[in-house]
Amino acid sequence: MLDSILGSLKVVALATKTDFRSVTSREVALFEGPMGWAEFSPFLEYSYEESIPWFLSAIEAAYIKTPPLIRATVEVNATMPAIDNPDEIAEILSSFDGATVVKIKVGGDARADLARIACVRELCPEARIRIDVNGLWSVDQAEAFLDQVGEIEYVEQPCLTIDELRELKKRSGVKIAGDEIIRKAKNPFAIDLSDAIDILILKVAPLGGITRAIEIAHHHQLPVAVSSALESAVGISYGLKLAAALPQLDFACGLGTGALLAVDVAELPIINGAIQVRDVAPDSGALIKYAVSNERLNWWKNRIRMTWSAGAQAIVQEKGWIL
């Protein structure tokens, strides 16, 4: 399996429209298996161990039959990076056709965060707003901000730890979504989320694939929203399949982030605030045009070998995925 993955491996660097988590070019590795194309794209700083679920998700996409899909399209939210220029904010918003929910990155300077939210509200008065803090606030900071922010759909990962989230929940009526709390957990099944969060964020790659993400959702019995990690259209298409396979889906999903890329390997357009669920194969011209240097390609090959031997291989064998 490893040889076959390395054999079809393509690595591309996709320029982003704007600085996103300090990323201005997104490197993603793509490979093809009997079930189609798959993406392996943990952020560059992630360790081999942390990259294991990302690799398992990609292997599942390439080698394992997808569970039945019950939706043909998935509603997506607009995603607003932590930018402050109103013209740039307007331009980003305009790339999410028909989205009625906007997720805004906050957690830096509170005044700039509030100004960004006000700017989005002015540009899209009808939109529902959710904010994502990536765990950057203390409980006191979170409480103070939520007192000032006005009506929002939910706040995603306001604080980092489960104890802080529980404390915040006692103090604030705003709904809380958990992202890092579940996707960075050593064992997402072992963590007790009661009285800490109201909504579970599911990201297919860091949670180890569609089947495992559905099992995690089932285990915690919370409403879910599916989100992503600035993947190419190949990775996004797999997140869309997770969203389409879930028995219950109550929120717009963070799967429109392709709109933040200046270029992509395939088209996956947002139409009337939704994306069609389908298989995506990368365009062969794009694979050549955006290919990384040989040095970067070798770096990714080494990363894949190391992630495989760091634990992915053992799990693949345990699951019986090696035919």
Question: What's the closest the beta carbon of residue 7 comes to Mg ion, in angstroms?
Answer: 34
Cβ-based neighbour number of residue 3 at 10 Å: 6
Would you call 33 helix, strand, or coil by DSSP? strand
**Any idea which residue has 């607003």 for tokens?**
80
Interaxial angle between packed helices 210-220 and 48-63, expressed in degrees from 0 to 180 and rounded to the nearest 10: 110
Nearer to Mg ion, 135 or 282 (CB): 135
- Tokens read off for 77: 């939210």
Q: Where are the alpha helices (DSSP H) in the chain?
A: 2-7, 48-63, 86-94, 110-123, 139-148, 162-171, 180-183, 210-220, 233-245, 284-289, 294-307, 313-319
Nearer to Mg ion, 184 or 218 (CB): 184
Options 32, 60, 179, 264; binder of Mg ion; rule CB under 5 A: 179
203 is catalytic: yes
Question: What's the closest the beta carbon of residue 169 comes to Mg ion, in angstroms?
Answer: 18
Question: What's the closest the beta carbon of residue 92 comes to Mg ion, in angstroms?
Answer: 17
Task: Name the residue among 229, 292, 224 with its Cα closest to residue 260.
Answer: 229
Q: What is the dihedral of CA 59, 65, 66, 72, to 10 degrees?
A: 130
* Residue 153 is a binding residue for Mg ion (CB under 5 A): no
Nearer to Mg ion, 30 or 177 (CB): 177
Nearer to Mg ion, 27 or 132 (CB): 132
Interaxial angle between packed helices 110-123 and 86-94, expressed in degrees from 0 to 180 and rounded to the nearest 10: 50
Q: Could you say which of 10, 103, 169, 203 is catalytic?
A: 203
Would you call 64 helix, strand, or coil by DSSP? coil
Report which residue type is found at 77.
Answer: N
Question: What's the closest the beta carbon of residue 152 comes to Mg ion, in angstroms?
Answer: 14
Question: What's the closest the beta carbon of residue 123 comes to Mg ion, in angstroms?
Answer: 22
Q: Could you say which of 10, 105, 169, 241 is catalytic?
A: 105
Binding range to Mg ion, per CB under 5 A, among 117-125, 160-168, 177-185, 213-221: 177-185
17 is catalytic: no
Count of residues engaged in binding Mg ion, rule: CB under 5 A: 3
Nearer to Mg ion, 153 or 179 (CB): 179
Options 60, 75, 132, 264; binder of Mg ion; rule CB under 5 A: 132
Cβ-based neighbour number of residue 288 at 10 Å: 10
Binding range to Mg ion, per CB under 5 A, among 51-59, 87-95, 131-139, 273-281: 131-139
Residue nearest to Mg ion (CB): 179
Catalytically active residues, by annotation? 105, 203
The residues of the shown chain that bind Mg ion, judged by CB under 5 A, are 132, 156, 179
